[in-house]
């Protein structure tokens, strides 16, 4: 249990995928009663009867203090914290469903996003959508959690460290104490933009790393993609107001390395299958969960164009996903670009 936290108040978790369910388990284990909103009645029924989310987190027992609900308004009433863990492409839609129920939400409630993505149309991060959608009074209480954290490993209570930022230090520290325990260590970081951009953009680089592995290009290529990918993430992040140091922390290089190398990475897996010659639509139709990097690639490419930044890895991944670029030609184009000094672009 997190030291120094009085166990009072309830938590609402919006989204019962693997990550939402895992974080609900973390919070319930820390002594908070949790209402977990499930989009599917089947998922709610499994949790209610069997104490297991077999669709998204099989083999992990969930405590009785997690109550599954399918009526969204029930998960909102009088909560100390609302955790949003839904796919980025439905994030705004879920918020719009929440808006009619704002009067039921407790004053000072923390709104924490655990979604790693960028909205395609607006090119906003998830907290950007929150700030745009909610009234100004909520802004200090809006935050995000990110870092190297596979849901299955956190659910097994393996040691994990993440970063959390919010509109104020007081809000960040409140959330930090609610999440932290003996296996889930939470660091505060005031750079909310860096936390979110690092978490979103690393998924695009993970696709590239997976493609490289699928082509059999070896460890040297993967290391180069991770390193130069970090340069691209930093370049765009700093242009959008993030702090450079964030990209050398948990939400930056930490999450990037994990997602580019770990076998549990959905984005690396999609890239791996693309590199082996499978078609994107066939890969995605077979996935039970969302590989955020596919949609984030489009947003990242548009951000690079808008900010007039050279981001060759992201550009080539975009070409592979959306312009039927040949993977081996993409590698050749990357390797035969004009020569330059290593740090000239950062």
pLDDT per position as a tens digit, 270-328: 999 999 999 999 999 888 788 899 999 999 999 999 999 999 999 999 999 999 999 99
Tell me: pLDDT of 346 over 50: yes
User: What are the residues facing 165 on neighbouring strands?
Assistant: 144
Residue 224 binned pLDDT confidence (cut-offs 50, 70, 90): very high
Quick one: average pLDDT of 244-248?
Answer: 97
175-192: b or e for each residue (b if 16 or more CB lie within 10 Å)?
Answer: bbebbbbeebebbebebb
DSSP code per residue over 97-117: HHGGGGGGSPTT-EEEE----
User: Residue 6: its pLDDT value, please?
Assistant: 46
pLDDT (tens digit, 9 = 90+) per residue, 8-28?
689 999 999 999 999 999 999
Helix ranges (H only) for the chain are: 18-29, 41-50, 88-98, 126-133, 151-155, 169-179, 192-214, 218-239, 255-261, 266-275, 280-286, 292-307, 312-322, 327-335
pLDDT of residue 290: 82
Q: What percent of the chain has pLDDT over 70?
A: 97
Token readout for 189 is: 């970081």
Tokens coding 205? 């680089």
Q: Distance from CA of residue 43 to its chain's centroid?
A: 21
Active-site amino acid positions? 202
Q: In angstroms, rounded to a whole number, what is the distance separating the alpha carbons of residues 229 and 227?
A: 5
| 295 Cβ neighbours under 8 A, 6+ residues apart | 88, 89, 117, 120
| pLDDT confidence tier of residue 88, bands split at 50, 70 and 90 | very high
The structural domains of the chain, ordered by start, are 10-190 (3.40.50.720), 193-335 (1.10.1040.10)
Given a contact cutoff of 8 angstroms between Cβ atoms, the answer to whether 249 and 240 are in contact is no
3-state secondary structure of 195: helix
Q: Is the pLDDT of residue 152 over 60?
A: yes
Given this model, what pLDDT does residue 114 score?
98
Q: Tell me, what's the pLDDT at 345?
A: 57
d(CA 345, CA 53): 45
343: pLDDT confidence band, cut at 50, 70 and 90?
Answer: confident
Please report the pLDDT score of residue 344 as a whole number.
Answer: 60
Residue pair 254/201 in contact (Cβ under 8 Å)? The answer is no
Q: What is the mean pLDDT of residues 169-196?
A: 98
Provide the pLDDT confidence category of residue 4 given band limits of 50, 70 and 90: very low
199-204: average pLDDT: 98
- Mean pLDDT estimate for the chain: 94
d(CA 27, CA 272) in angstroms, rounded, equals: 34
- Residue 137 pLDDT > 90: no
Mean pLDDT of 93-109: 94
């Amino acid at each position: 249990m997190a030291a120094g936290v009085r166990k009072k108040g309830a938590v609402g978790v919006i989204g019962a995928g693997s990550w939402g369910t895992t974080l609900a388990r973390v919070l319930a284990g820390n002594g908070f009663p949790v209402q977990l909103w499930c989009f599917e009645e089947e998922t709610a029924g499994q949790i209610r009867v069997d104490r297991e989310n077999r669709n998204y987190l099989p083999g992990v027992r969930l405590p009785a203090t997690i109550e599954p609900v399918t009526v969204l308004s029930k998960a909102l009433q009088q909560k100390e914290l609302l955790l949003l863990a839904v796919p980025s492409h439905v994030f705004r839609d879920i918020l719009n469903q929440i808006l009619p129920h704002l009067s039921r939400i407790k004053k000072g409630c923390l709104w924490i996003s655990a979604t790693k993505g960028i909205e395609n149309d607006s090119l906003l991060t998830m907290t950007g959508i929150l700030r745009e959608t909610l009234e100004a009074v909520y802004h200090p209480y809006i935050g995000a959690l990110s870092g190297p954290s596979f849901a299955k490993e956190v659910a097994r209570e393996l040691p994990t460290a993440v970063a959390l930022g919010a509109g104020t230090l007081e809000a960040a520290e409140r959330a930090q104490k609610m999440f932290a325990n003996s296996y889930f260590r939470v660091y505060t970081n005031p750079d909310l933009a860096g936390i979110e951009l690092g978490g979103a953009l690393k998924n695009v680089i993970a696709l590239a790393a997976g493609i490289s592995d699928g082509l059999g290009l070896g460890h040297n290529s993967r290391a180069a993609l991770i390193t130069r990918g970090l340069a691209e993430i930093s370049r765009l992040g700093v242009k959008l107001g993030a702090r450079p140091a964030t990209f050398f922390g948990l939400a930056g290089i930490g999450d990037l390395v994990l997602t580019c190398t770990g076998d549990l990475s959905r984005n690396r897996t999609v890239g791996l299958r693309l590199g082996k010659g499978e078609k994107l639509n066939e890969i995605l139709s077979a996935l039970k969960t969302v590989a955020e990097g596919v949609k984030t690639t489009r947003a990242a490419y548009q951000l690079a164009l808008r900010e007039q930044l050279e981001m060759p890895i992201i550009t080539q991944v975009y070409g592979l996903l959306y312009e039927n670029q040949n993977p081996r030609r993409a590698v050749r184009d990357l390797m035969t670009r004009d020569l330059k000094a290593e740090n000239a672009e950062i």
